[in-house]
Structure 1
Amino acid sequence: MEAKKHRRLTLKERVQIETLLNENRSKAYIAKLLNRSRSTITREVNKLVINSNDKYDAHLSHWCAKDDYLNKRNLDKISTHKPLKYFVYKGLLSEWTPEQIAGRIKELYPNDPIMSISHEAIYRHIYTRPQASLNKKLIKLLVRKKTRRRPVKKKRGTGSKIINQVSIDNRPKHIELREEIGHWEGDLMIGKNQKSAIGTIVERKSRYTLIVKLKARNSKEVAEMFSKILNKLNPIFKKTMTYDNGIEMARHEIITQKTGMEIYFAHPLLFMGKRY
């Protein structure tokens, strides 16, 4: 009797598995229909379905399996631990930033050393092989879609050009819990060829986002337009804003004067994408 050769599941089979699971078919039924062992189907499903709220995703599973096969000799933490890997990839496909993914994992798995990852480690995983086909897809899922991640440039001098900054270290600790509405995260998105820019202000708890149209990237324009859009909000939604050290925020005190919002600044070398 000829021994059966080991065959990896195909995308077509994974789509069938997803379809049949959505029809509430048992793993034994699926295994018989696909002429696969029940253990093969069980392992495949359990890689993605960790708890009752998870759903099996055929394309995500196939994507990860292909990456596992191609990179067995070069595994980082994300590639080594499949539950972590699926959580990270699922987050990227859901248009979460690495900062959001890292924060969400911390909230859901506070005492699990395996389900723990920094946003920097996620970025390193994505940019380890920037020319590989999978990594190209991962890069496209990022907000800025840069093909290379440039190191943070060291600035000349010892002081910041932004005066009277208040460090994020002095921000009230309860803001980190994201339980109270009214605390925001600001950022500047640069357009193609550095010719345009828009401001984004994201509410930490609800993730409600304000888009600020800017005619220029200078601090005067940013202060004026940020203040204008924030002052359209009910005062109960205007408490604090956290920002990076971009020079466009040099007139942060004007925003505080006009809106009543305290502004905190992240550490320069830790800011890269950005969720505080």
Structure 2
Amino acid sequence: MPTKALPATAGRALLISASPSSTVTPSSARSATDNMRPRRPVPPSGRYLSLSEREQIDEYRRDGWTIRAIAHALGRSPSTISRELRRALSYRGKYLASRAQRDAEARARRPKTAKLAAHAELREQVQGWLGEDLSPQQISHKLRREYPSRPEMWVSHESIYQALFVQSRGALTRELTAHLRTGRYLRKHRSTVGERRGKFPDMVMISERPAEVEDRAVPGHWEGDLIIGANNKSAIGTLVERSTRFVMLLHLPDGHSAEQVRSAMTRKITELPEHLAKSITWDQGAEMSQHARFTVETGVPVYFCDPRSPWQRGTNENTNGLLRQYFPKGIALDGFDEVYLDVVADKLNRRPRMTLDWDSPAERLGKLVVATAA
């Protein structure tokens, strides 16, 4: 149920009336009503709390103000005030502004060595995984899984980003940023690149797919598409398994006609165990006009998305975005050989995924193969 906003008059009733010339003090505010906020917050003095602000916190705290009321009065965030009090309330439960200021100055003078700079083993592991094109977030979670009993081998994704982009934090060379995914590929609709669409004989629409495909409960159902190269003259085919996010790339060196796409798909699909090749969902691009022949050759049915509905192949669309890290827009794609396509697919399949509880697609598919072989 959506939260209803209070009327403006109700909010104003909680503030303390004061003329422009008057000064709101903790004691006068409390005498009117407990824990009320002043009308206007004081502009913060800078990034860090000043001695004057700490003295105000000391006074407000003794007068019983809440953290939110203090934050509002100082123009600071509640988390800043909460953190300040946590650090300084160790002196018999009291907050002392002068001592809090001395401690803050000592912390500022203390040299801070970044964790990645201080720990060679951790740094080498992070550099290795960055070189394999894992994202900082994926690396952070993978470290905890690979080294569950070694906290010294854990690091946050934010620390990795800082080590890459803030060179004063040291540790990681800026060249490694080339392995980060720096943008999201937003695919143009095919009609904008000159490809005609039309319905094919014997099309089976996505609405007729088995229910097991929709909830990803049963593996073996794939989504497919093409990544188009410069001037619509070259392409790479993509197949993504919906349950595990495992990806296979189709090598199309001689063009992306229906004949070429059908032939490449047949080769890839027939490499799979039968229980992992149950269906393919594709859009209504002309490259799929030989879908019926493909089904006869492989026994795998093809389901078609509704026109202009890329979200019906969301797994594949997301994977195409990841692939643009290796195949940027505006370049010819027929210059990449099949070995390179397999290397790229393997890199994606070894990346841990949040949607898989930080398993990689290869790990998930491997578990399925072992389970069915047992």
TM-score range, shorter chain: 0.3 to 0.5
Q: Which structure has the larger Rg?
A: 2
More helix as a share of residues: 2
Query: What is the TM-score normalised by the length of structure 2?
Result: 0.36
